[in-house]
């Protein structure tokens, strides 16, 4: 068992990790890749060392908390029977529920010291089309609040403009990866997620970068991003 270290701000040197995984029908063609990617992230973050506390939320038309705030050593890898894509994509409801549940757990821990690292990973291949309780604006405000509190967001999106999607969700200091819907690209995007999480846990600084595993060059994307910022335009909701 590892001992708890205290960081310079008095928080406990450990990580709370919430993984929000799309289980809608459109993920069916990459069902195995999604499971493998989650399992890879789980193992890499445990191997990094230190204590980790894990929550896995899957979503389609419904939101399902598969396990909540359990030690990394108790999390078992996903198997075929654990992940069966179907139905639609309630992305806003999944994010809103997962993030507010994480906030509540952190409040309960305050008397004993909060973790130094809070990480939220989102893996999806579709656009919102089924949420009933959470709106775009509410999710945007919630994520903005959490980023300002120092949380690390990691957004992995298949077959979409993930930077724009993440930006519209309020993820402005996030690690973002685009990938095509195949195993090799999914695993490369998860390598980026692991890099971002390890760097954040080591440096205690939010990691903001973009990578594209759909064949486009990093330069092409960076130039696109620069032009958008020079124009002063953004996909963020108007306040």
Residue ranges of domains in the chain: 12-231
Whether the pLDDT of residue 105 is over 60: the answer is yes
Helix (H, G, I), strand (E, B) or coil at 67: strand
Give the pLDDT score at 238: 40
Choice among 49-53, 185-189, 209-213, 220-224 with the minimum mean pLDDT: 220-224
Return the number of other C-beta atoms located less than 10 Å from residue 34's C-beta: 27
pLDDT greater at residue 92 or residue 5: 92
pLDDT of 12 above 90? no
pLDDT band for 229, please (50, 70, 90 cuts).
low
- CB within 8 Å of 204: residues ≥ 6 apart: 7, 116, 117
Nearest residue to 87 via CA among 124, 123, 122, 130: 130
* Average pLDDT over every residue of 70-98: 97
Q: What is the pLDDT of residues 148-158, one digit of tens each?
A: 999 999 999 99
Cα–Cα distance between 64 and 170 in angstroms, integer?
23
Closest by CA to 69, choosing from 40, 109, 102, 99, is 102
Rounded CA separation 5/57 (Å): 28
Higher pLDDT, 1 or 114: 114
pLDDT at 228 over 70: no
- pLDDT for 237 equals 43
What is the Cα gyration radius of the chain? 17
Q: Rounded mean pLDDT of the chain?
A: 88
Distance (Å, whole) CA 145 – CA 138:
11
Contacts of 45 (CB under 8 A, 6+ apart): 15, 17, 52, 72, 194, 197, 198
Mean pLDDT of 175-180: 95
pLDDT at residue 74 tops 70: yes
Class of domain 12-231: alpha beta
Q: Pick the more confident residue, 12 or 192.
A: 192
For 35-44, what is the mean pLDDT? Answer: 97
Between vectors from CA 137 to CA 136 and to CA 139, what angle results, nearest 5°? 65
Sheet strands (E) in the chain: 12-22, 51-59, 63-71, 115-124, 152-158, 175-179, 209-213
């Amino acid at each position: 068992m590892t001992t708890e270290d205290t960081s310079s701000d008095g928080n406990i040197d450990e990580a709370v990790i919430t993984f929000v995984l799309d289980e809608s029908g459109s993920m069916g063609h990459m069902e195995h890749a999604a499971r493998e990617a989650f399992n890879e992230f789980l193992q890499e973050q445990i191997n990094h060392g230190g204590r980790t506390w894990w929550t896995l939320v899957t979503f389609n038309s419904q939101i399902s908390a598969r396990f909540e705030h359990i030690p990394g050593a108790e999390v078992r890898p996903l198997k075929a029977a654990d992940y069966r894509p179907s139905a639609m994509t309630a992305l806003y409801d999944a994010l809103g529920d997962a993030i507010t549940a994480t906030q509540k757990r952190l409040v309960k821990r305050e008397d004993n010291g909060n973790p130094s690292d809070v990480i939220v990973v989102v893996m999806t291949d579709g656009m919102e089309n089924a949420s009933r309780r959470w709106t775009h604006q509410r999710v945007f405000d919630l994520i903005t609040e959490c980023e300002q509190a120092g949380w690390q967001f990691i957004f992995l999106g298949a077959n979409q403009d993930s930077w724009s999607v993440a930006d519209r969700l309020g993820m402005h200091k996030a690690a973002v990866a685009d990938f095509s819907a195949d195993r090799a690209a999914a695993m490369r995007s998860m390598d980026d997620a692991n890099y971002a999480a390890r760097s954040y846990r080591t440096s205690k600084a939010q990691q903001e970068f973009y990578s594209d595993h759909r064949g486009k060059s990093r330069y092409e994307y960076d130039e696109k991003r620069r032009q958008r910022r020079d124009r002063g335009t953004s996909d963020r909701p108007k306040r």
